[in-house]
Structure 1
Amino acid sequence: MKKIAISIGDINGVGPQIALNEHKKIKKLCNPIYCAHPELLQDACKILGIAMPKDMEFVPPNTPLPSICAGTINAQSGRYSYESFLQACKLADNKEVQGICTLPIHKKAWQIAGIKEVGHTEVLAKRYQKKAIMMLGCEKMFVALFSDHIPLKDVSAMIKTEELSEFLIQFYHCIKMKKALVLGVNPHCGDDGVMGNEDEAIKKAIIKANKTLGQEYFTGPIPPDTAFSPKNREEYQFFVSMYHDVGLAPLKALYFYESINITLNIPILRTSVDHGVAYDIAYKTRPNAHSYLNAIDLATRYGMD
């Protein structure tokens, strides 16, 4: 079976609990390598009142082991989740694992720990000097994001024909899908310039990408408020959104527990849960692990040999 490195996420959230609860199940799918200190998981077991699995394999990050402070944002948990993630990347770079799966971090914890990158995707883009493409979803529907973790006020300035065309071309080469629907950005796709000209740039980018690829793989732009209609979801599996929340709000409304996060256009395979740290339930109730199991399943199916 393939080896998958698992970064433990924010230790004050649900990550360690999910890893412990689902260890037996994922051992049937892969050989998981946990990028954490065994003492950390032992501490989590004590809090949860459960037994520590005896067959867990660990490669700890090179950082001091902090104490678990359930439901708390602090620099120590932020630094530990960051170093755990880097350890997983190192294992993938060295071909010691065939992919990595990340449990949820807290972006504010990273910030107060002095980490400059906003999240996993930004670290991967910097590490591999590539345009890391964030795609989220499940077998029923996937949404790729042209812009990901940036303020809404900065999105319009990013929408340029050349950059978007290159993004679409890279996205196609990663997925090789038969077709994808591209969302506009303004209401009614701008109504022919009445509400901005960004959608004209999107249209030109689609035309240019299709011409370069030699086939009509991309359709649009289409107004975001109608893009995810039942008819479109029957016809399209892949969607491209200009902005994070525009694409992910309908996805999470429809498939919240099933969806996963995949980073495309980088030299390693990275999958992730599509949910946050859930501080409100951490170490209190059993979190839903559907997303985690799906992320591990995909990593085992598409991990590098």
Structure 2
Amino acid sequence: MQKKKVAISIGDVNGIGLEIAIRAHAHISQYATPIYCVHDEILAQAYALLESNTTEPTQALPRLPAHSLCPPPTHEIPAITPGALDLLSGAYSYASFTHACDLVDRGECVGVLTLPIHKLAWKQAGIPHIGHTDALKSRYGSEGIMMLGCESLFVALFSDHIALKEVSAYIQTHKLREFLLNLARCLPTMNECAVLGLNPHCGDGGLMGEEDALITQAITEANKSLGKATFVGALPPDSAFSPHNRARFRHYVSMYHDVGLAPLKALYFEQSINVTLNLPILRASVDHGVAFDKAYKAKELSLQSYINALKYVVSARG
């Protein structure tokens, strides 16, 4: 059987993404044919850095087949400067990402696997998006859903990259109801899903805020539309991830980014991945950042999140 092709967006070349791609190439090639959206000139720089900063000869490292970007990036191909925040590397990572999406749009690949970018580098490069998820929402005109996790636990985020002070106003019953219905449609095999409240003790009946009543109403309306009690809550976030609840729920919805992701990363930091749902294409990513402090420094890197993301893309496409 012919292996599925997966477009690999190479991420910020000054971080750990490219080294992860190199070191994991032989492993992920067992499951899919990776199409790397990167130029040979970038790969040559990466191999030279790895050779100079480690005792490992470059010939011992897997050789990545480059897939030249077309059209070429808006800016020049950057010189890799490990650990540096650079607008050229930001522009290049964005060009790699958009080209990976193009490959999927044309039917040449089944999905996109993104390596970590630096959001400030994107901003410095003049890119008007706060990361991959925001760019995907704009590109496809759809409210993409950010979900992170692994086989043991997935957390979907109702609000993702917005300031904490904006979350309260963001919570509206009709918006959350549509979010829950979209999530149920994207995950048809999902059983029960826990929905977290916002305030301590879910507001204690309004003593500490009214947002939790809106959340509960959205849950009621979504379950009525689905004809079954898929969503459970609102649950107090401080106890929602107890062992008892995790034995019952595999999927959670969090109103705010850090409330949902802090317990996930404490439990499954190296295994978890980032998936964008509710889009016409499939996108998965590692669930970690650029780790500038480790880039090209012969530090031990975990490949598990990257491998899990690749497996998710392949399995999700049958």
- The TM-score bracket by the shorter chain reads over 0.9
Could you tell me how far apart the structure 2 residues matched to 1:24 and 1:59 are?
20
Q: The residue matched to 1:48 in structure 2 has which SS?
A: helix
* Count of residue pairs the alignment pairs up: 304
Other-structure match for 2:313: 299
- Specify which of 262, 276, 284 is matched with residue 271 of structure 1: 284
Other-structure match for 2:173: 161
Could you tell me how far apart the structure 1 residues matched to 2:64 and 2:81 are?
26
Give ranges in structure 2 of 5+ residues lacking alignment.
52-57
Q: The residue matched to 1:280 in structure 2 has which SS?
A: helix
Could you tell me how far apart the structure 2 residues matched to 1:9 and 1:258 are?
19
8 Å Cα contact 1:89/1:100 also seen in 2: yes
Other-structure match for 2:10: 8
Pair 1:17 & 2:19 matched: yes
Q: The residue matched to 2:295 in structure 1 has which SS?
A: coil
Aligned 1:221-232 pairs, distance under 5 A = 221-232=234-245
Pair 1:71 & 2:74 matched: no
Aligned 1:128-277 pairs, distance under 5 A = 128-176=140-188, 177-277=190-290
Q: What residue identity is the alignment partner of 2:99?
A: Q
Q: What residue identity is the alignment partner of 1:288?
A: S
Could you tell me how far apart the structure 1 residues matched to 2:200 and 2:253 are?
16
TM-score (norm: length of structure 1): 0.98
Runs (4+) off by over 6 Å: none
Identity of aligned residues (%): 53
Tell me how far 1:211 sits from its aligned partner.
Answer: 0.3
Other-structure match for 2:48: 46
Could you tell me how far apart the structure 1 residues matched to 2:30 and 2:168 are?
46
Tell me how far 1:42 sits from its aligned partner.
Answer: 1.4
Q: What residue identity is the alignment partner of 1:258?
A: Q
Tell me how far 1:245 sits from its aligned partner.
Answer: 0.3
- Specify which of 296, 300, 303 is matched with residue 283 of structure 1: 296
Pair 1:26 & 2:38 matched: no
Could you tell me how far apart the structure 1 residues matched to 2:271 and 2:62 are?
26
8 Å Cα contact 2:10/2:96 also seen in 1: yes
8 Å Cα contact 2:113/2:310 also seen in 1: yes
8 Å Cα contact 1:189/1:221 also seen in 2: yes
Q: The residue matched to 1:275 in structure 2 has which SS?
A: coil
Which deviations, in whole Å up to 9, do the C-alpha atoms of 1:159-198 show, x marking residues without a partner?
Answer: 0000000000000000121110000000000000011100
Which deviations, in whole Å up to 9, do the C-alpha atoms of 1:66-111 show, x marking residues without a partner?
Answer: 1001000010111111110000000000001001100000111111
Tell me how far 1:259 sits from its aligned partner.
Answer: 0.1
Tell me how far 1:287 sits from its aligned partner.
Answer: 1.4
Q: What residue identity is the alignment partner of 1:34?
A: Y
Tell me how far 1:54 sits from its aligned partner.
Answer: 4.3
8 Å Cα contact 2:178/2:222 also seen in 1: yes
TM-score (norm: length of structure 2): 0.94
Q: What residue identity is the alignment partner of 2:317?
A: G
RMSD: 1.0
